[in-house]
């Protein structure tokens, strides 16, 4: 089935889309200056697709992730703002489809002889602490799948913390920044999905969960107060 973009306002007229977006469609559409609120509607995944993914990767998919894919095989919602006569794309919320829920590979990062792999870049200096769980590992100690490429600003990952065979209860959601440092986001996919919606898909919002925060260039004026005030 070919993906089609839903026209603005469709989230308000289709109950399953309204449920999927937690009502954010209405909030965005009623916000001054916001335009072109668009959802790329995707059909639900079939159960055999989930079973195939689990068998292929030797991982048990968490129940909340399964339930998400049984509602929609991936998610992509965007919105823009109008400044003067110009339409500027701003918000983007995305979750990869099952076919793109792929494991981060340990192959060479560069197509050069003896180039380093992700495992070669492993840094064990920052382990678990009272306020931070043990970070994922690029080697066989963890199994890591990409949920969102964050438009090139990093990767949000579903991480199995105990290697293979991987159990659903061993999963967490982490953000891998462009410098290949890990930052903990949430214990569950459901909690992460709510974070995604709450932050409206603003550029680089994941960096709010890092020690260095969102860059000044990526932080729209008043966006922090506006996003907090919406929920």
- Mean pLDDT of all residues in 134-147: 93
DSSP secondary structure letters along 114-163: TPPBTGGG---SS--BTTBPPPP-SSTT-EEEEEE-GGGT-EEEEEETT-
Task: Provide the pLDDT for residue 224.
Answer: 41
Which of 100, 97, 101 minimizes the C-alpha distance to 44? 97
Identify the residue with better confidence: 31 or 230: 31
Query: From CA 54, how far away is CA 70, in angstroms rounded?
Result: 15
Cβ 90 vs Cβ 221: under 8 Å? no
pTM here is 0.79
pLDDT of amino acid 22: 83
pLDDT at position 99 is: 96
What the block records as the tokens of 122 is 């492993």
Indicate left, alpha or beta for 133 from its phi (over 0: left) and psi (-120 to 50: alpha). Answer: beta
CATH of the domain at 85: 3.40.1580.10
Neighbours of 93 (CB within 10 A): 21
Q: What are phi and psi of 192, to 5 degrees?
A: -65, -45
Residue 229 in any domain: the answer is no
Asked if residue 113 is part of any domain, the answer here is no
Which structural domain, as residue segments, surrounds residue 37?
14-106+136-209
Q: Does a structural domain hold residue 70?
A: yes
* 205 within some domain: yes
- Domain presence at residue 220: no
Query: Residue 173 falls within a domain, yes or no?
Result: yes
Q: What is the pLDDT of residue 115?
A: 46
Query: Strand (E) positions, the chain?
Result: 4-6, 34-41, 75-83, 86-95, 143-148, 155-160, 171-176, 182-186
Q: Assess whether pLDDT exceeds 90 at residue 130.
A: no
* pLDDT for 46: 97
pLDDT digits (tens, 9 = 90+) for 78-107: 999 998 889 999 999 999 999 999 998 754
Determine the Cα–Cα distance for residues 144 and 154; give it in Å rounded to an integer: 14
Number of domains present in the structure of the chain: 1
In a domain, residue 221? The reply is no
Number of continuous H segments (helices) and E segments (strands) in the chain: 7, 8
Specify if 68 maps to a domain: yes
Q: Give 156-192 pLDDT, tens digit per residue.
A: 999 999 878 888 899 999 999 999 999 999 999 999 9
CB contact at 8 A, 24 and 14: no
Per-residue pLDDT, averaged over 102-129, amounts to 56
């Amino acid at each position: 089935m070919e993906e089609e973009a839903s026209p603005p306002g469709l989230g308000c007229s289709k109950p399953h889309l309204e449920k999927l977006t937690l009502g954010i469609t209405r909030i965005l559409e009623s916000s001054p200056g916001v335009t072109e609120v668009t959802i790329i509607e995707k059909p639900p995944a079939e159960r055999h697709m989930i079973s195939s993914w689990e068998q292929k990767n030797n991982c048990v998919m968490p129940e909340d992730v399964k339930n998400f894919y049984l509602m929609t095989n991936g998610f992509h919602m965007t919105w823009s703002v109008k400044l003067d006569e110009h339409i500027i794309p701003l918000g983007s919320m995305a979750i990869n489809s099952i076919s793109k829920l792929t494991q981060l590979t340990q192959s060479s990062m560069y197509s050069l002889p003896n180039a380093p792999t992700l495992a070669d870049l492993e840094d064990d200096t920052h382990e678990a602490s009272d306020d931070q769980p043990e970070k994922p590992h690029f080697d066989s100690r963890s199994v890591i799948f990409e949920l969102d490429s964050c438009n090139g600003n990093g990767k949000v990952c579903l991480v199995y913390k105990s290697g293979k065979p991987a159990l659903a209860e061993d999963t967490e959601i982490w953000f891998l920044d462009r410098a290949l440092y890990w930052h903990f986001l949430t214990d569950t996919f459901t909690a992460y999905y709510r974070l995604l919606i709450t932050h409206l898909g603003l550029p680089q919002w994941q960096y709010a969960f890092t020690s260095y925060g969102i860059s000044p260039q990526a932080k729209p004026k008043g966006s922090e107060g506006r996003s907090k005030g919406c929920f």
